[in-house]
Chains A and B, each alone.
Chain A
Amino acid sequence: MTSEPVISAKNLSLTFQTNDGPVHALKDVTLDIEKGDFVSFIGPSGCGKTTLLRVMADLEKPTAGEITVNGVSPEEARKARAYGYVFQHAGLYPWRTIGGNIRLPLEIMGISKADQDAAVQEVLELVHLDGFERKFPWQLSGGMQQRASIARALAFHADILLMDEPFGALDEIVRDHLNEQVLELWARTNKTIGFVTHSIPEAVYLSTKIVVMSPRPGRITDVIESPLPKERPLDIRDSPEFIEIAHRVRDGLRAGHEDDA
C-alpha cells in the first residue's frame, strides 16, 4: 500500500457552458485515492459529486487541472476497461436474462464463452444471486436488480468500482442490507471503490475516506479518514465513533451551505 494512488486529481476544474452562463461544477479539486480505499462522495445536489465520478470514468472531460486513473488519463483507463460503473438505475436490458445482462460487457470485450460462464457464476455468487441466472429482470425486486447491475460491473474484473448513488432509489431496509453486502464484497475483492451518496449514515458506514463536497462552485470542503475498523456490523452505527464521524460530516455539509446564506 505504498505505491502510487489509484486515482489522483490535482486542481481539477470543470465548467459547463450553459445558456445562463458558465456553471462551475468542479473547482480546484485535489484528491488522492489509494488502492483498496472505499471513498464516499457526499454533498447536496449540485456539489459536483457525480460530476467528479464521471470525470474519473471519462464520461466528462475536465476543463482544467490534471487527473490520472491507474497512472494514466481517464480515457486510456476507460479504454483499458479499468473500472466498473454502477448507475443510479440498474439499467438491465429487459430482453436479456440476468446472466445475459452480466454477459453483455463480456461479449462487448470479446471474452471467450467459457470465461464468460465462469465470470457470471463468480459474480452472481458475490452478490448472492446464485440461481437467478436464467430469470428476467422483471422477475426480480428493485434491490435484486441493483445487485445484478453491480455484478455486471464486477464481471470483467476491473480493480476500480465506481458507484453513482446506486441505492438512491431503494427503500431504507433494502438499502441497509445492500450496504452490508457491498462491504462484504469490498472485503472479498479488495477493489478500490468510489461511491456517491447523499446519505450521511451510508457514507460513514461504508467508507474508509469520506469526501464532503459543497456546491456553487463544486468543491471539496473536508476529507475524513474513517477510524472505524474494516469489519463493520450494522450496529456499529450506534457506536460513539460512528456518531462522531457523522457529526463531522454534517458540520462539513453545513459549512458548505453557510456561504449561500
Chain B
Amino acid sequence: MARVWYRLGPILTVVIAIFVLWYAGTVALNAPWAHDKAKRAGVELSFSELVSDTMSQQKPKLPAPHQVGQEIWKTTGAMVAKGRAFSKRSLLYHSMVTLSSTLLGFALGTALGIALAVGIVYNRTMDMSVMPWVIASQTIPILAIAPMIIVVLNAIGISGLLPKAVISMYLSFFPVVVGMVKGLRSPDHMQLDQMKTWFATRGQEFWKLRLPSSMPYLFTSLKIAMAASLVGAIVGELPTGAVAGLGARLLAGSYYGQTIQIWSALITAAALAAALVGLIGLIQTMVLKRMGMVR
C-alpha cells in the first residue's frame, strides 16, 4: 500500500493542484461577465452567488472542470446508455473518426520513417541529401501545409480518411527517422568489426544486429510519433469543413462560442493521446524486457 502511494502521491498532488488552479481561474475569468449580468439586472452579487454563477455559465470564458466532465459524460457514457454510442452527437463517434486517421497516419509515418532511416544509414548519398529536407519539412507550420495537402489530394480524387492520415504521417515520420537513424547506428565499432570477421552480408548485419539494437530508440520515437499523429489528425480535420472528428468538434465549438464543447473535445483528445502513448509504453516494456534490454 505504501508503495502504491509512493507512486500515486506525486501524480495526485499535481492533479489536485491543477484542479485548484482551474477552479480559481474559472472564478477569475468568468467574474466580469457575471458582474455585467448582475449590473444589468440591477442586483448586487454576494461572493457565494458570484462563485456559483461563474461555474454555471452557458458560454463561460473558462468552463469549470465539472461542467466539462458533465459535457463529456453527456456525449459519451450517457449516449452509450441510450444505445446511441456512435450517433453524430457522440464524442465516441468523433473520437473514432480521429482515431482511425491517427492510426493510419501513424502506421504510414512509422513505415516511411523506418524506410528513410534505413536509406540514410546504408546510403551515403541519402545521408547527405535527405536529412536536411527531413528537418526542413518540420519547420513548415503544419497549419499552413495541411489545407494544401487536402486540396492537392482532393484534386487527384483522394478524399476522406487518407488526406487526414497523410497530414498525420507528415508529422509522425520525423521522430521515427531521427530515432531510427540513431538506433540503427547504435552498434559500436566492435560489434560491426565482429560482423565483419564473420563475413556477414549487409542484410545479415541489418537483421541480426542493427535492427534489434535500434529497438529502444524505435519505441521512444513511436511514443512521440503517436502524439504527433493525433495532433496531425486533429489539424487535418479543421480544413475539411469540420464534418466529423475531434478537430471538427473544436472548430464547431469555436464557431458558436461553445467553450464547454471545445474543452470537452480537448480533454478527450488529451485522454486519447495518453491512452495511445501509454499503450506503446506497455508494449515497449514487454518487448525490451523480453529482449533483455531493460532489467
Contact = CB atoms under 8 A, between A and B. Distances in A.
B190 A91 contact: yes
Interface stretch (B86-94, B169-177, B193-201, B218-226): B193-201
Interface size class of A (residues with CB under 8 A): 20 to 34
Contact of A81 (B193, B194, B199, B212): B199
Contacts of B193: 59, 85, 87
A108 B208 contact: yes
Main secondary structure of the interface of B (DSSP, over half): helix
Output the residue of A58, A78, A105, A138 with the most chain B CB within 10 A: A105
Interface residues of B, number: 20
10 contacts: A57-B197, A59-B196, A85-B193, A95-B212, A95-B290, A95-B293, A108-B199, A108-B201, A108-B204, A156-B198
Contacts of B204: 107-108
B94 to A, nearest CB: 41
Interface of A: 57-59, 78-79, 81, 83-85, 87-89, 91, 93-95, 104-105, 107-109, 136-138, 156
Nearest to B295: A138
Interface of B: 190-191, 193-201, 204, 208-209, 212, 290-293, 295
A78 B196 contact: yes
Given A78-B199, A95-B293, A87 B208 contact: no
A242 B249 CA distance: 86
Contacts of A58: 196
A94 B293 contact: yes
Contacts of A89: 190
A207 to B, nearest CB: 22
Contacts of B295: 138
Contacts of A81: 198-199
B292 A138 contact: yes
Output the residue of B190, B194, B198, B290 with the most chain A CB within 10 A: B198
A145 to B, nearest CB: 13
